């Protein structure tokens, strides 16, 4: 079990000291439940791992993992900056009160409108292509405004993760190839409106070995060295996110400490080798910080036994938790109202979306399940609620924040009215 989860004597699963069965009764299902303390713990663990070994470290939490306002406020309190990828996320970071110097904008295919907004707010703009640089150059010249910029460099390494989660392969759509880096920086340096401040990589997500990070970081540090020779001194080096979590207990995993112990000595030796001024190291973890902090609660509505399979039908589907269908992802499941009961049968937990790919958990051995039981899907804090949709005309679920026995609703359950909000039916159709 995870450190913030527990089982009461009556067999009820708890999170942050709160009974999940009671939460489901009070707020209904499907329901995301996030543990505040666990987010703080993971943030501090990540930050300390690097800050204990290197003088200047900044964490820019990847908003895409979970950008519920309350979660963003917790991370702001902890001192995290933001890695944002859209105008919407820039809006959220401002809403939370982050100062622009703590925000890095790393979207791909940024629109001119997004670039203008980023410029106006004064956030660091991390280019994904040379074309984007040229477009910002035009915008800056027109507005006579200076931008702090960097490039996302694609180091061409394989992170050994799900193909959808690898972003630093030679063929990926992200970043500029390492071979183009010199040209890109030399050109950017000539632009009077650019303050060329850093270099960035993000090689993928749910990575469970330090090797690809080390390989990519080596390339990035060598590029920083070459840039130094050409007179471009970098203020920061951003190693992106990607540290995986333990979705499955028996699979390999790494901790931030493992990564820091492998990465920091490499960075230090490259600083010496190339005679660099000590850059600030940025990291952009998303999943590691919020991933295991939340669970999703869903209610069993239907039980179907066929000669081939037993299906446990719940009131959630891939519109609530996309990861199993989209990436074949594994989320451990617990019967939250009989968490201590012995395992008895093998079942598939089926979602309620009208698609055959909508299976939330396959071949799980669980206690005997009855109608009305409550299923908890663990480790759903990252890319959970944030990837939810209204597909099949189901309103988005609610989200609750728990902390040491207390709880607050942080996202109201949507209503049917939300399904039609903003839509118009021309008079002639009525
Ligand atoms: N920085 C950049 C530029 C990113 O694109 C990402 C994630 C991160 C940081 C944070 O990565 P993390 O530490 O969370 O691995 N929806 C997928 C994950 C997509 C990740 C996208 N980029 C999933 O559910 O597994």
Q: What does the DSSP assignment read for 71-88?
A: HHHHHHHHT-EEEE-SHH
Determine the average pLDDT of the residues in 262-273.
97
Which atom in ligand 1 lies closest to the alpha carbon of residue 383? 24
Distance from Cα 379 to the centre of ligand 1, integer Å: 15
Nearest CA to ligand 1 atom 5: 202
**What is the sign, positive or negative, of the torsion defined by CA atoms of 16, 372, 248, 260?**
negative
The residue written with tokens 């070995």 in the block is 209
Residue 236 lies in a domain: yes
Look at residues 371, 373, 376, 374 and name the one whose alpha carbon lies nearest to residue 361.
376
98: nearest Cα among 108, 86, 83: 83
240 lines ligand 1 (CB under 6 A): yes
| Residues recorded for the chain | 430
User: Is the beta carbon of 324 within 6 A of some atom in ligand 1?
Assistant: no
Whether residue 178 is found in the same domain as residue 298? no
Rounded Cα distance between 225 and 27, Å, is 55
Mutate to test the pocket of ligand 1, among 284, 291, 360 (most ligand atoms within 8 A of CB): 284
* Same domain (yes/no): 201, 298: no
22/277 Cα distance (integer angstroms): 55
At residue 312, does pLDDT exceed 90? Answer: yes
- Residue 250 in tokens: 């028996």
Instruction: Work out how many domains the chain is built from and give that number.
Output: 2
Specify whether 14 is located in the same domain as 91: no
Mean pLDDT of 25-41: 98
354 is catalytic: yes
Look at residue 327 and tell me if it is in a domain: yes
Which helix or strand (DSSP H or E) is residue 268 part of?
helix 256-274
Backbone angles phi and psi of 398, in degrees to 5: -90, 165
State mean pLDDT over 232-253: 96
Q: Is residue 44 part of a domain?
A: no
Q: Residue 169 pLDDT > 80, yes or no?
A: no
Residue 47 lies in a domain: no
403 is a domain residue: yes
Q: Using CA atoms, how far apart are residues 338 and 13, in angstroms rounded to an integer?
A: 8
Q: Which of 285, 319, 343 is the last residue of a domain?
A: 285
Confidence (pLDDT) at 163: 74
Give the pLDDT confidence score for residue 157 in this predicted structure.
Answer: 87
Q: Is 187 helix (H, G, I), strand (E, B) or coil?
A: helix
Q: What is the pLDDT of residues 314-343, one digit of tens each?
A: 999 999 999 999 999 999 999 999 998 998
Q: Is residue 161 lining ligand 1, measured as CB closer than 6 Å?
A: no
Query: How far apart are the CA of 304 and the centre of ligand 1, in A?
Result: 36
**One domain, residues 213 and 237:** yes
Say yes or no: 146 and 245 in one domain.
yes
Query: Which of 242, 248, 388 maximizes ligand 1 atoms within 8 Å of its Cβ, making it the mutation to test the pocket?
Result: 242
**Are residues 230 and 83 part of one domain?**
yes
How far is the CA of 18 from the CAs of 280, 300, 380, in angstroms? Answer: 40, 21, 17
In-domain check, residue 246: yes
Which atom of ligand 1 has the smallest separation from the CA of 284? 9
pLDDT at 167: 74
- Whether 9 and 157 map to the same domain: the answer is no
Tell me the per-residue pLDDT of 186-226, one tens digit each, with 9 for 90 and over: 999 999 999 999 999 999 999 999 999 999 999 999 999 99
Residue 173 confidence class, pLDDT cut points 50, 70, 90? confident
Task: Tell me the pLDDT tens digit for each residue of 130-149.
Answer: 999 999 999 999 999 999 99
Report whether residue 285 contacts ligand 1, using a CB cutoff of 6 Å: yes
* Residue 202 beta carbon below 6 angstroms from any ligand 1 atom: yes
Q: Tell me, what's the pLDDT at 161?
A: 73
At residue 1 the predicted structure's pLDDT band, cuts being 50, 70 and 90, is confident
Tell whether 57 is covered by a domain: no
Domain, as residue range, for 410: 5-35+291-420
Q: Is the pLDDT of residue 248 over 90?
A: yes
pTM of the model: 0.97
- What is the pLDDT, as a whole number, of residue 325? 97
Element (H, E) at 325: helix 323-327
Alpha carbon nearest to ligand 1 atom 21, residue: 205
- Cα–ligand 1 centroid distance for 430 (angstroms): 44
Please report which helix (H) or strand (E) contains residue 35, including its range: strand 31-35
Q: What is the CATH number of the domain that holds 379?
A: 2.40.37.10
Residues 122 and 192 in one domain: yes
**What pLDDT score was predicted for residue 246?**
97
- Mean pLDDT over 292-314 rounds to 97
**126 token code pair:** 């991390």
Write down the H helix ranges in 355-413. Answer: none
Question: Which residues are paired to 335 by β-bridges?
Answer: 375
- Whose CA is closest to 280, among 197, 186, 182, 193? 197
**pLDDT of 113 higher than 90:** yes
Query: Is the beta carbon of 83 within 6 A of some atom in ligand 1?
Result: yes
Say if residue 70's pLDDT is above 80: yes
Name which of 52, 49, 46, 69 is nearest 60 in CA terms. Answer: 46
What would the mean pLDDT of 113-137 be, rounded to a whole number? 97
* Of 344, 288, 268, 340, the residue nearest 312 (C-alpha): 344
Domain endpoint, select from 285, 320, 344: 285
Ligand 1, closest atom to CA 205?
15
The residue whose CB lies within 8 Å of the most ligand 1 atoms, and thus the one to mutate among 45, 47, 153, 205, is 205
Angle 315-317-323 from CA coordinates, rounded to 5°:
145
Average pLDDT, the chain: 96
pLDDT confidence of 165, banded at 50, 70, 90? confident
- Residue 342's pLDDT is what? 92
430 domain-assigned: no
More confident residue, 169 or 339: 339
pLDDT at res. 190: 96
Measured from the Cα of 326, ligand 1's closest atom is 24
Q: Is 102 in the pocket of ligand 1 (CB under 6 A)?
A: no
pLDDT higher than 90, residue 162: no
- Same domain for 132 and 270? yes
Q: Supply the pLDDT for residue 139.
A: 98
Q: 126 CB less than 6 Å from ligand 1?
A: no
Q: What is the pLDDT of residues 399-409, one digit of tens each?
A: 999 999 999 99
Instruction: Indicate if 253 and 380 belong to the same structural domain.
Output: no
What CATH number should be reported for the domain holding residue 213?
A: 3.20.20.10
C-beta of 114 in contact with ligand 1 (< 6 A): no
Residue ending a domain, choose from 268, 285, 302: 285
Q: Do 240 and 317 lie in a common domain?
A: no
Choosing from 354, 365, 425, 429, the catalytic residue is 354
Shared domain for 276 and 296, answered yes or no, is no
Closest approach atom of ligand 1 to CA 286: 14
């Amino acid at each position: 079990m995870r450190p913030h989860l527990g089982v009461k004597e009556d067999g009820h699963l708890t999170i942050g000291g709160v009974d999940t069965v009671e939460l489901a009764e009070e707020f209904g299902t499907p329901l995301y439940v996030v543990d505040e303390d666990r987010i703080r713990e993971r943030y501090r663990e990540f930050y300390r791992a690097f800050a204990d070994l290197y003088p200047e470290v900044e964490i820019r939490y990847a908003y895409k993992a979970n950008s519920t306002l309350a979660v963003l406020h917790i991370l702001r309190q902890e001192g995290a900056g933001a890695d944002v990828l859209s105008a919407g996320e820039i809006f959220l970071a401002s809403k939370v009160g982050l100062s622009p110097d703590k925000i890095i904008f790393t979207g791909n295919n940024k629109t001119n409108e997004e670039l203008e907004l980023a410029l106006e707010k004064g956030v660091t703009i991390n280019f994904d292509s040379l074309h984007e640089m040229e477009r910002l150059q035009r915008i800056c010249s027109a507005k006579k405004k200076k931008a702090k910029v960097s490039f996302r460099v694609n180091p061409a390494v394989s992170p050994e993760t799900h193909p959808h989660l690898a972003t630093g392969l030679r063929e990926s759509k992200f970043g500029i190839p390492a071979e183009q880096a010199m040209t890109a920086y030399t050109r950017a340096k000539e632009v009077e409106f650019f303050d060329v401040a850093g270099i960035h990589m993000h090689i993928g997500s749910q990575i469970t070995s330090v090797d690809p990070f080390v390989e990519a970081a080596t390339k990035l540090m060598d590029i920083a060295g070459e840039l130094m020779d050409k007179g471009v001194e970098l203020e920061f080096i951003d190693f992106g996110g990607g540290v995986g979590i333990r979705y499955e207990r028996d699979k390999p995993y790494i901790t931030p400490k493992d990564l820091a112990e492998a990465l920091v000595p490499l960075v230090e030796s490259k600083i010496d080798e190339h005679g660099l001024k000590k850059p600030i190291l940025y990291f952009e973890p998303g999943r590691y910080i919020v991933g295991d902090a939340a669970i999703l609660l869903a209610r069993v509505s239907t039980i179907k036994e066929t000669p081939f399979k037993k299906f446990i039908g719940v009131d959630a589907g891939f519109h609530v938790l996309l990861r199993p269908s989209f990436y074949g992802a594994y989320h451990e499941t617990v019967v939250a109202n009989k968490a201590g009961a012995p395992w008895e049968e093998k079942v598939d937990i089926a979602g309620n979306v009208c698609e055959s790919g909508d299976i939330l958990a396959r071949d799980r051995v669980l206690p005997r399940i009855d109608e009305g039981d409550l299923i908890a899907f663990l480790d759903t804090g990252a890319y959970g609620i944030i990837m939810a949709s209204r597909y099949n005309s189901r309103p988005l679920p609610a989200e609750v924040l728990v902390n040491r026995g207390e709880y607050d609703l942080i996202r109201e359950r949507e209503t049917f009215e939300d399904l039609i909000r903003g839509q118009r039916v021309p008079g002639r159709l009525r």
